Structure 1
Amino acid sequence: MRIGIDFDNTIICYDKVFAAVARQRGLVPEGWQGLKTDVRDHLRSRAGGELAWQGLQGFVYGKGIGDAEIFPGVSEFLAACRKAGASVYIVSHKTQFGHQDPDRVDLREAARGWLRSAGLIDATDAALAAGNIYFEDTLAAKVERLAILELDIFIDDLVDVFEQPHYPKTTRSILFTQSRLSHPVHCEPIASWVDIHRGVFAA
C-alpha cells in the first residue's frame, strides 16, 4: 500500500501557535482564543489584514514552527503503516520562503526540522523515509507529484486538492476535516486521525 499525506494542518496543527503569536503582535485582543482559520478570518476582515496574515504565516511556518503540535492519532497511524509495510509519503504545497517574511527563513527546512524533532524522520524507528518528503511550489505541481507516486490513498485537509482536474481519480481521497461543507463525491470526509486509522486499517 502506498499512502500520501499532506503536511500543514494535516500532520501538524498550528492552531495554538497562530493564536499565541497573533496576541503577541497585537493583531487580536489580549486573551483572544481561536483556531488558525479564526485568526485568518479576523485579520482579513480589517484593512491591511491580508499582509498581516501573510506575515503571521511566514513566522509561524518558519521560526515559530517549534511550538506547533502533532495532531492526535498521527503517530499511531504511522506506526500502523510501518507495521503493515506501507510506503508513506508527505506531499505538500509549500514554498521555500514565506510571503512578508523579512528573515527569509527556509520553510521547507523548518518543516523537516519539526518532523525530525517529532521523531518522524531520521530516527531508528521513524515512520517516514526522509527521501519520501516532497514540497512543491504550486498546487498543480503537488497534484502532478501525487499522480507520479501512484498512491493508493491520499489524506489532505484542503478540498481544493481533490477538486483539481488532474487529481488522480484512482487514488482514494480522504478529506481530513470536521466541516460539513460540500465536497467532491469521491472524497471521504473524516474528522479525526483515530477514524482515519480505523477506515484505512479496518479488518
Structure 2
Amino acid sequence: MFIGIDFDNTIACYDELFAVAAADHGHVPPGTASTKSQVKQAVLRNPDGERHWMTLQGEVYGARMAGASMMPGLGDFLTACKERGVPVAIISHKTIYGHHDPRRVNLRDAARGWMHDQGFFDGDGFGIDERHLYFESTREEKVHRIGRVGCTHFIDDLPEVFEEPGFPDGLDAILYDPAGSLSPPAGVRSSADWRSIQNMVFGGDD
C-alpha cells in the first residue's frame, strides 16, 4: 500500500485565509464569505474579477501560507498511516510563483515550510519521507508522477485530476468533497471527510 495525497484544499485548508485576504483587499465585505468557494464567486463578480482572483490565490498560497490549517481529521489519517507503516506521497500541481504576485513568493517553498511547521516530516510527527513530496508544474505531469511513484491510492479534491488522460489505471481513487457538491468520475469513490476516507482505506481496523 502506498497512499498519494494532493496538497491544496485536500491537506491544507485555506477558507479563513481567503475570507480575510479578500476582505483586506476590499473584494468582499468582512464576514460575508466564509469559504474559498464563496470568496471566489464574490471576487469573480467584480470588475476584472479573474485577475483579482488569481492575485488573491498567489497571496494566500504564498505570503499568507503560514496561516493555513490542516483539513479536519487529516492528522488522524496520517497518524494511522504511520502506525501501520504505510508510506505517504504528497503530489501537488503547484507552480513556483503565483500569478500577478509582485513579491514573487516561491509557492513551493511556502508549502514545504508549512508542512515542516506542522511536523509532516518529523519522526515524532507524521514521519513522512520528504523525498516523497513532489511539486509538478502541470496536471499532466502530476498524474504521470502518481503513476511513476506507484501509488495504490490517490486522494484529491478535483475530479479533473482523475479524468486527466494518463491517470493510472488500477489504483483506488478517492475524491475528497467536504461540501458534497461534486460528481465523482466513473470508478472514483467520494468522501466528505477524512474519517470516512480512513475507513475506506483501512476498513475501520482501529
Q: TM-score range by the shorter chain?
A: over 0.9
Aligned-pair CA distance for 1:23 = 0.6
Q: Match for residue 7 of structure 2?
A: 7
Name whichever of 12-21 and 122-131 sits farther off: 122-131
Q: Cα offset for 1:123? A: 4.6
Where do 4+ consecutive residues of structure 1 move more than 4 Å? Answer: none
Name the SS for the 1:119 alignment partner. coil
Shift of 1:105: 0.4
Query: Matches of 2:145 and 2:114 in 1, distance apart?
Result: 22
Listed as ranges, the gaps of 5+ residues in structure 2 are none
> Is 1:129 aligned to residue 158 of structure 2?
no
- The answer (yes or no) to whether the contact 2:91–2:133 under 8 Å persists in 1 is yes
Shift of 1:172: 0.6
Q: Deviations over 1:84-121 (max 9, x none)?
A: 11110000000010001000000000001100111112
Q: Does 1:94 align with 2:94?
A: yes
Aligned twin of 1:108: 108
Partner residue in 2 for 1:23: 23
Aligned to 1:43: 43
Residue identity matched to 2:188: C
Deviation string 1:128-147 (CA, Å, 9 cap, x unpaired) is 11111000000000001011
Identity %: 43
TM-score (norm 1): 0.96
Which letter does structure 2 place at the counterpart of 1:72? P
Contact 2:27 2:46 in 1 (8 A): no
Tell me what 2:182 maps to. 181
The whole-number CA distance in structure 1 between the counterparts of 2:184 and 2:191 is 12
Alignment coverage as a number of residue pairs: 203
> 1:124, 1:198 → 2: CA distance?
24
Instruction: Please report how far the alpha carbon of residue 201 of structure 1 lies from its aligned counterpart in structure 2 after TM superposition.
Output: 1.1
Task: Give the aligned CA root-mean-square deviation in angstroms.
Answer: 1.2
- Give, in angstroms, the shift of residue 127 of structure 1: 2.8
Distance, in Å, in 2 between the alignment partners of 1:17 and 1:173 is: 28
Partner Cα distance (2:2, 2:142) in 1: 16
